Amino acid sequence: MPHLKYQMQKRITRLISKHYKGFGIDSPYIYHLIRNVIEAKMHYYPFKKLDRQCQTMLSILKAKSMNENLSREEALWFKSEFDHLKTCTKLNRFLFRLANFVNPDKIVFLGNDSGLSLSYLAKIDSRKKISCWGSHNYSREFSSLILKEHAVTNLEFSDLNLTGNFLIDFVHISRTVDSSVLSEFEMNIETYLNQEAFLVIENINKDEARNAFWNRMKQSNFFNVSLDLFDVGILIARKGLKKQDHNLSARSYK
């Protein structure tokens, strides 16, 4: 979806969406999540360092995107990452707060990003290993160098596989994930995820394929709760919660 059309749809959706203010939410857990995590303005100690990392990465990405020796795919990737990093601070801070609230033992990031979102996840708890699945060689090489320079050591890159004891508690599906990776993950989702888990999906209203994936996950029996923030969707599997869908497009994360 073109950027201007997407932004216009987002604004219209927020104008006509229901403003919750707690009404219609009968779960104390979900109410707390919305009011004290999604809508919070808390500032955490890693944010200043991560802001500086973002500025460093912007300079490097801009220089890389002007390299005439890059393939067309690589040049488009560097340009896309540069454009994204200019506006992603609010999203990354929100995802940091959410993962910090969930306090998962196993985190997986699905995507082909330049490394800033990975740094946010890694800074939550340096004792916990973060797995990145589905990255390309060029993005993996770039991310590894950036992460090493900023002393991020609790992260590993790998491909999807069906061997091992997964029990993943928190999955972040990036806007950059390949359709083949997402399809494979969906086919084996109950193998990968713990019985109680969070699934965070970017760009749920930006393209038809991602929106269709979001709707299939909402309707599955695995998840109890869906929270639609327009840019991002959150799916929750948690014992004791009844099946419920909430459109929170009018309630922007901070």
The Cα–Cα gap between 146 and 190 comes to 33
pLDDT(5) > 80: no
pLDDT digits (tens, 9 = 90+) for 156-176: 999 887 777 789 999 999 999
| CB-CB contact of 87 with 153 (8 Å) | no
Asked if 109 and 128 touch (Cβ cutoff 8 Å), the reply is no
CB 82 within 8 A of CB 65: yes
Instruction: Using pLDDT thresholds of 50, 70 and 90, give the confidence band for residue 195.
Output: very high
For the segment(s) 3-43+89-247, the CATH number from 3.40.50.720, 3.30.1330.40, 3.40.50.150, 3.40.50.1220 is 3.40.50.150
Query: 114-137 pLDDT, tens per residue?
Result: 999 999 999 999 999 999 999 999
Tell me which residue of 252, 253, 251, 250 sits closest to 16, measured CA to CA.
250
Has residue 234 got a pLDDT over 50?
A: yes
Q: How confident is the model at residue 20 (pLDDT cuts 50, 70, 90)?
A: very low
Secondary structure tally for the chain: helices H, strands E? 10, 8
Q: Tens of pLDDT along 198-220?
A: 999 999 998 899 999 999 999 99
SS3 (DSSP) at 130: strand
Rounded to an integer, what distance in angstroms lies between the CA atom of residue 45 and that of residue 213?
Answer: 35
DSSP conformation letters of 17-69: S---TTTT---HHHHHHIIIIIS-----TTHHHHHHHHHHHHHHHHHHHT-TT
**Do residues 198 and 98 touch, judged by C-beta distance below 8 A?**
yes
Task: Please give the Cα distance from 223 to 236 (Å, whole number).
Answer: 5
pLDDT recorded at residue 252: 66
pTM for the model stands at: 0.89
R_g (Cα) of the chain, nearest Å: 18
